[in-house]
Structure 1
Amino acid sequence: MPPAAVQILAFALALLGVLGAAVATLLPNWKVSVNVWSSVMTPISQMQGLWMDCVWYSSGVFSCTMKSSMLSLPAHLQTTRITMVLCCLVALLGLCLGSLGLKCTRWGGSRRAKGRSAVAAGGCFVLASLLCLVPASWFTNEVISAFLTTDLPDSSKYQPGGALCVTFVSAGFLLAAGVIFCLSCPGQGTGRPGGTAGDPGRAAVHADERRRRELQPRGEEPKPRQHKTVHLQLEEPKDIRDSYSLQEYV
């Protein structure tokens, strides 16, 4: 089981991954236009995101338009929407389970229960990483393929934007946190099949036995313990026997 400092680092990476995935879902620059215009009233940059399309004019005006119709969107955009929302939800569930599985906290139950919570949190983080990485890769492939294969003018071509970079970094953070939490297997590190972590008395007995074997010289058999028995002989009080003798004479 990893130490508490490593678990705290993994929890911090997972928190950064969740925040990055949520921010990337809302950002409008999943793909940006290639051509930059020089006129005052023409747009400098056009950006398209999962939920809105934005235009930035050279005069400093920034306007956005929401994508109201979901059925008119392409398949890769609809899939990316759904998977990114699921990624955020699963990662939030992983954060809740990860807080229970941290060794530095008092809540969460016993050591074995904390280990199981940490493993469940690691599974959630790995799943969230896949839900974040797969649609981002598909979206990037669609943008690059449209840029290279179409005969459209440069003003209608797009390239991957900064939101995709944030998505890939967030997926890496979630994957690293998930792997670290998955190493928190319950029962790991016990020397015997049954384990002595849950019984302090048995652990102390085994430690004492191991220490005595280490102090024993090599080549010498440990002597069996000899159990001594003490026999107590009870004598009758003298006054009782004297009273018996007086009764005989009387």
Structure 2
Amino acid sequence: MLSGAVQILAFALALLGVLGATVATLLPNWKVSISVWTSIMTPISQMQGLWMDCVWYSSGVFSCTMKNSVLSLPPSLQMMRAGMVLSCMVAAFGLCLASLGLKCTRWGGSHRAKGHTAIAAGGCFVLASFLCLVPASMFTNEVITAFLTTDLPDSSKYQPGGALCVTFISAGFLLAGGVIFCLSCPGRSSGRPESVSSPGPNGPVLKSEEQNRRETVEHKYCSLHRRPP
């Protein structure tokens, strides 16, 4: 398996990815208007997200409207919502598995069982990364296509917002943590010889393979050089 420090680094990256994906899902600035108005009580910024639309007025008032009607939303937006929610859920499940697969923890079973659990956690993080990348890519494509192909005035055009940047960064963190955890194969880099037990006065004593080999050589040497009575 990988070293404990590398696994902790992967766990930290995955945790940042989960937090970032959750925050990005709730943020309203997935796309932001490009026009800036200076009149009093006129909007200077309009933002649209997956769950709400917000307007920031020049007087300092910030107003948001929730998208409560699911049936009135376009199918693409519903699919983006489902993808982000599934990404957060799968990533959270991956964190639970990763806590069991860490070498620095006492729970999770044997060394080999921890390795398989770490690989499963890595798979969850990679899947969550793709579930996060697909809605963000679709939303970005829609915003850029509408900006370049429509003849709307600048007051009605939008550009990608900060929530999309957070989504892409979070997906990168999840992917990096998942790849690191997927390299935690229990049979690759253990670096320790297998131990066998031998009976002792106070119970079984663990002996490494090198010690057993050395004792065997010494026993053969003594048998050859032992004088007959």
TM-score exceeds 0.5 = yes
| Aligned position for 1:73 | 73
Partner residue in 2 for 1:28 = 28
SS at match of 1:53: strand
Matching of residues 112-151 of structure 1 within 5 Å? 112-151=112-151
Deviation at 1:197, TM superposition (A): 3.3
- The amino acid of 2:128's aligned partner reads A
Looking at structure 2, the residues matched to 143 and 200 of structure 1 have their Cα atoms a distance apart, in angstroms, of 66
Q: How does 1:1-250 map to 2 (within 5 A)?
A: 1-189=1-189, 197=194, 199=196, 204=207, 206-208=209-211, 226=224
Measured against aligned partners, the alpha-carbon deviations of 1:65-100 in whole angstroms (never above 9, x if no partner) come to: 011222222232111100000000000000000000
Offset at residue 211 of structure 1 (A): 6.7
Determine the C-alpha separation between the residues in 2 that align with 1:205 and 1:101: 25
Residue 109 of structure 1: how far off its partner (Å): 0.8
Supply the distance in 1 between the matched residues of 2:208 and 2:22 (Cα, whole angstroms). 52
Corresponding residue SS for 1:97: helix
Give the distance between the partners of 1:198 and 1:205, measured in 2 at CA.
4
User: Helix, strand or coil: the match of 2:2?
Assistant: coil
Q: Which of the pair is proportionally richer in strand? A: 2
Do the aligned residues in 1 keep the contact of 2:2 with 2:189 (CA within 8 Å)?
no
Specify every segment of 5 or more residues in structure 2 that has no aligned partner in the other structure, as ranges: 199-204
* % identity of equivalent residues: 74
Q: Which amino acid in the other structure matches residue 160 of structure 2? A: P
Amino acid at match of 1:37: W
* 1:150 maps to amino acid: T
Letter in 1 for 2:51: W
In the TM superposition, what is the alpha-carbon distance from 1:205 to its structure 2 partner?
Answer: 5.2
State TM-score, norm by structure 2: 0.88
Deviates more, 1:140-149 or 1:65-74: 65-74
Q: CA RMSD in A?
A: 2.7
**Aligned pair count?**
221
Range with greater deviation from structure 2 (74-83 or 122-131): 74-83
TM-score of the pair, normalised by structure 1: 0.81
Unaligned runs of 5+ residues in structure 1 are 213-221, 232-250
Partner of 1:40, secondary structure, is coil
Match of 1:238 in 2: none
